[in-house]
Amino acid sequence: MCGRYAITKDPARLAAEFDAVDGTDGAYEGPDHNVTPTRMVPIIVERMPADGGAARRTVRLVRWGLVPPWAKDPADGPPMINARAETITEKPAYRDAASRRRCLVPADGWYEWKPTAERKQPYFAAHEDERTLAMAAVFSVWWRPPSEPGAEPTPLVTAAVVTTDALGETADIHHRMPLVLPRHAWSDWLDPARSAVPELLAAPDEDLVARIRVRPVSPAVNNMRNNGPELMERIELLDSGAPPTLFDAP
């Protein structure tokens, strides 16, 4: 967890929701009902401008799956899509990012799978009123070496979602969940002047988690090629916990 999620709002709407400025330059290819690792995703970030002045909050696009600055190649190893809240300030891959490069990953909700006797059944976790969830995350910058003499290196910005112990309805599906932050915690998490936010890493906000509902959804989400609003819709389960098939129909 979290290995798939959905974000259906465009950058302009996200900018309005998060009191930010759209900095995606029209490059976002959403909506995305089945976000998979290495996809370009919107994040909310707050940085100090190079010419001084107050911190500026923007919506940016990054690749999901953090690449540490020292990596030889972004393709080495599986994508680092998650970082555990309990160890993020200690692990070399995330330590510096947790201190200096924190962001929010907006989501309609996330998918999780629960084993049944027949198969793993996917579920979708979302706020009860369908509001956007702000998943705590960290980002890193990897510099791609120039392809020819005299050329400049190019940056690759990547991110990982912070996870924590599951609470509420989500705990019945999986033992981990994204660290979702309530609105009043956004500024502290994003503040580039703060190097530590231990109180935010301690546990999810109980009031927010209590409003997250989990619903069974179609196994069609298992295929990363499928991407439509029907993936997020509730389905009916049999007593076994498996969705009905053609031969179960009356």
Q: Which residues are catalytic?
A: 2, 112
What secondary structure does DSSP assign to the chain, as a single string? --SEEEE-S-HHHHHHHTT-EE-STT-----EEEE-TT-EEEEEEEE--TT-SS-EEEEEEEEESB--TT-S-TTSSS-B-EEETTTTTTSHHHHHHHHH-EEEEEESEEEEEEE-SSSEEEEEEEETT-PPEEEEEEEEEEEEPPSSTTPPPEEEEEEEEEEEE--GGGGGT-SEEE-B--HHHHHHHH-TT-S--HHHHH---HHHHTTEEEEE--GGGGSTT--SGGGGS-----TTSPPP-GGG--
**What per-residue string of b and e applies to 176-195 under the rule 16 or more CB within 10 Å gives b?**
bbbbbbeeebbeebbeeeee
- Asked if residues 222 and 122 have their Cβ atoms less than 8 Å apart, the reply is yes
Residues counted in the chain: 250
